[in-house]
Amino acid sequence: MMQSGGTPIFVLKEGTRRERGKGAQFNNIAAAKAVADAVRSTLGPRGMDKMLVDSLGDVVITNDGVTILKEIDIEHPAAKMLVEVAKTQDEEAGDGTTTAVILAGELLKRAEDLIEQNIHPTVIASGYRLASEKAREVLEKIATKISVKDMDTLKKVAMTAMSSKSASGHKDLLSDISVKAVSTVAEQRADDSYFVDDDNIQIVKKQGGSIADTELVDGIIVDKERVHPGMPAQVDNAKIALVDAALEVKKTEIDAKIEITDPTQLQAFLSEEEDMLKRMVETVKKSGATMLFSQKGIDDLAQHYLAKADIYAVRRVKKSDMEKLAKATGGKIVTKLDELSKDDLGYAKLAYEKKIGDDSMTFVTGCKNPKAVSILIRGGTEHVVDEVERSLEDSTSVVAVAIEDGKVVTGGGSSATEIALALRDHASTVGGREQIAIEAFADAMESIPRTLAENAGLDPIDLLIELRKEHKKGNKNAGINVFAGKVSDMKKENVIEPIRVGSQAISSATDAAVMILRIDDVIAAKSGGAPGGKGPGAGEGDEGAGEDF
C-alpha cells in the first residue's frame, strides 16, 4: 500500500497478494525445484516409475517426465513454467523431458546460492546465457555424423531412448519397428536433408496378446470389420471408394402417412426403397471400386447388394481414419455418392480383414503413397499398451530427429561431463562475477551423471570423480554404466542420442531458469494460485514475502 498524506491508497484490488525481492525469488525457485524433485527419480534406465491416480481413480504408470508433469495438478506459476519446459522438450525433441526439467531445477538451485552471496540475478542470468551457448557449441563439436542409411546407429538411438521405459524388455523388437517406420516415411528434401512427418506413422493400440506381437504394417489399419460375412475377406489390387455419405434411404423427417389400399401398392412402395439402395450400390460398382469405406451407415440391404458385387465394405469409419486412408491410398473423400467416379478411387495392393484379439480389423497395405506406415501395439493390459505407446513415441521421435539433424552424441552423462569440463575452462577466460555463474552452470550439467548414478543405487561422488578424470584424459565418451556400476565408454555401450535432445534440453532449461530468475515481484489476484501460500517453501519470514495489499 502507498501512503499519501496519511490516507492509504489502494492500488490493487483487496485481497491481491504481492511478494517482492528475494522472497519472491526464493519462493519461485523452491517451487521449480519441487517439480524437478518430482521427476528426478525416474531418470535413466534404472530410474523408477510413477503411479499417478487422478481424481476419478484412473491410473497411469509411467516413467515419462512430460507425462508425469501433465498428469499432476500444478498450481504454482513458477512450477508451471517447468512443466512448459517439459512440453517444449517433448515437442521439439521427443525425448529428454526429465533431463530438461532436472537441469532447469539445478540451474535454479545453484542460482539461489549465488543470490545468497549477493550476486545479482541479472548477472547470473547473463552468465547462464553465455554458458548455454558455449554448451551447445561443445555438443556440436563432439557430435558425430550419421546418415539415414545407418540403420545400425539409428537402432542404437532408438534403444537408448527406450532403455528407461518399462517396455525395455522388448526394446530390440520395438527399436527395429521404430527405425523401419521412420526411415520409410523420411522424405528427402532438395538440399539433401531429410524431413520426417510423424503424422505418416499411425499408431493403433489393441489390448491383448503380448508386446512381442506388436507389428509394423506397411499401410493403414482401420479398427473395423467388413460389414457382411458374404464380402471377400481379402482384396487384391483394391480400388478404394471413400465416401462421407450413407448408403441408406433417408427416413422422412415429418411423419408421413401412406395409405395403402391394395397389396400391390405395398410391394411398389417397398421395391421403391430397394431400388434406391440398389442404385447406390450400382454407383459404387460402376466407379470400379472393389472396396468401400463409408463414414456413415450402410443399410442391411445395401450390404447384401455390396456382398453380391464382391465389394469389401466398412461403415462408420472415423473421420481421422478416412483422412489417413485418403492420404495413403490417393483417394478422394466424396460427400455425394452419385458423384463418385473412377478418378476418386484410391489404390492399395492388398487389403484384408484380420482378427486381432477378439475383434477383426481392416488392413490396407501396399498403398499408393509408400510413405504411410502403421504400428499395431499389443500388450496384456491397457497400462502396458499405453506405456508401449509412449516408448514408441519417444523412440520414433529420436530416430526422426537423428535423421533430420544427421548428428548424434553419446549419453549416460558423457556429453554433460564433457560440457561441464569445457565450461569450467571457459569460465576462467570470462572472469568477473559471470565466471561464477558459468561454473554453477557446469555444476548443474553434472547433475545428469550424478542423478543417473544415484538412481542406479551407486555412489555418485566416487563416480563423478572418476568421470572427470576420464574426460580430462580425453575420453569424451566416458559415462555412467548404470548396469555395471562403473564408468565406461558409452559408445561401446551403444548409448547414443540425437544431438537435439541435449541441445534442446540445455536451451529450454536455461530459458526457463533465466525467466524465473528475473522475476522479483509476484502480484497475484485473490482467486489465483497464491504465491507464498500453498507453494512449497513459502517464504515465511523472507523479506517482502506475502504482503497483503
Q: Tell me the per-residue interface mask from 409 to 428 with ligand ADP, x by CB under 6 A, - otherwise.
A: --xx----------------
State which of residues 97, 290, 295, 477 lies at the interface with ligand ADP (CB under 6 A): 97
Q: Rule CB under 6 A: which of 436-495 touch ligand ADP?
A: 448, 452, 479-480, 482, 493, 495
CA distance 485 to 53: 33
Beta-carbon-side half-sphere exposure of residue 408 (alpha carbons within 13 Å): 28
Q: Which of 150, 218, 344, 394 is catalytic?
A: 394
Q: Pick from 25, 27, 28, 42: which binds ligand ADP (CB under 6 A)?
A: 42
Q: Among residues 98, 153, 214, 365, which one is catalytic?
A: 98
Closest approach, Cβ 469 to ligand ADP, in A, equals: 18
Q: Give me the 52-71 binding string for ligand ADP, x by CB under 6 A, dash otherwise.
A: -----------x-x------
Could you tell me the smallest distance in angstroms from the CB atom of residue 493 to ligand ADP? 6
Nearer to Mg ion, 95 or 454 (CB): 95
44 binds ligand ADP (CB under 6 A): yes
Ramachandran category for residue 108: left, alpha or beta (phi over 0 → left; psi -120 to 50 → alpha): alpha
Q: Which of 67, 88, 97, 362 is catalytic?
A: 97
If one counts every other C-beta atom within 10 angstroms of the C-beta of residue 41, the result is 16
Q: Looking at the DSSP assignment, which residues form a beta bridge with residue 364?
A: 220, 351
Is residue 406 a contact partner of residue 140, using CB atoms and an 8 Å limit? Answer: no
Give the per-residue SS3 of 147-177: CCCCHHHHHHHHHHHHCCCHHHHHHHHHHHH
Residues 6+ apart with CB under 8 A from 300: none
Among 164, 200, 287, 374, the residue binding ligand ADP under the rule CB under 6 A is: 164
**394 assigned to active site:** yes
> Burial of 76 by CB count in 10 Å (0-12 exposed, 13-18 middle, 19+ buried)?
buried
Contacts of 265 (CB under 8 A, 6+ apart): none
The correct pick among 27, 62, 88, 98 for binding ligand ADP (CB under 6 A) is: 98
Site for Mg ion, residues 74 to 113, rule: CB under 5 A: 95
Binder of residue 167, out of ligand ADP, Mg ion, none (CB less than 5 to 8 A by kind): none
**Alpha carbon separation from 388 to 154, 166, 395 (Å, rounded):** 19, 8, 10
Using CB positions, name the residue nearest to Mg ion. 95
Q: Could you tell which of ligand ADP, Mg ion, none binds residue 452, using a CB distance below 5 to 8 A set by kind? A: ligand ADP
Cell numbers for 369, please give them: 503413397
Choose the catalytic residue: 42, 62, 64, 88: 64
Q: Is 264 a catalytic residue?
A: no
Dihedral angle, C-alpha 455, 459, 464, 470, nearest 10 °: -110
Which spans of this chain sit near ligand ADP (rule: CB under 6 A)? 42-45, 47, 63, 65, 95-99, 160, 163-164, 411-412, 448, 452, 479-480, 482, 493, 495, 497
Which spans of this chain sit near Mg ion (rule: CB under 5 A)? 95
> Which are the catalytic amino acids?
64, 97-98, 394
